[in-house]
Amino acid sequence: MILKGIKIFNDGDYFAAHDFFEVLWHFAESKNRNLFQGLTQLSVSCFHFVSGNLSGSLSQLEKAEAKLSFYFPDYMEINLTQLSSDIKEFKAEIKSQLNTTKTVNYSIIPVINLQQNKGAI
């Protein structure tokens, strides 16, 4: 089930990914709630980013980063170590773009990769 949400996210439909992960979050067992909440917040962060709301993106990204950190190094086939690294780069890019007129670099948006070199969905 989670693979469907990852595909939606990696396809760049962050609003739909948010909706998908939010449903999983609300119905998840307690041990998985932070994971799905973190993925929801990551999706919202990316949606804000592509919509030009950099401060909203940064705020949600920081929340997502904290929630996902509970599941290192990988969980439910997600390579969270790689995702964490990508989030750190994404966060640095957002911070560098705040209060500038610099062109937004969409290529810095993270993708969710699977563990053991299974690649992105």
21-76: pLDDT as tens digits: 999 999 999 999 999 999 999 999 999 999 999 999 999 999 999 999 999 999 99
Topology given in CATH for the domain delimited by 2-114: Hyaluronidase domain-like (1.10.3450)
In this prediction, residue 60 carries a pLDDT of: 98
Q: Token pair for residue 65?
A: 């980063």
Spatial distance between the Cα atoms of 51 and 118, rounded to a whole number of angstroms: 30
Spatial distance between the Cα atoms of 24 and 38, rounded to a whole number of angstroms: 11
In this prediction, residue 9 carries a pLDDT of: 98
* pLDDT of 12 strictly over 90: yes
Strand segments (E) across 15-93: 74-75, 78-79
Where do the structural domains in the chain lie, given as residue ranges? 2-114
DSSP β-bridge partners for residue 119: 114
Spatial distance between the Cα atoms of 71 and 106, rounded to a whole number of angstroms: 27
25 and 58 in contact (C-beta within 8 Å)? no
Spatial distance between the Cα atoms of 120 and 86, rounded to a whole number of angstroms: 13
Q: What angle do CA 63, 19, 40 make, to 5 degrees?
A: 15
In this prediction, residue 100 carries a pLDDT of: 79
21 and 5 in contact (C-beta within 8 Å)? yes
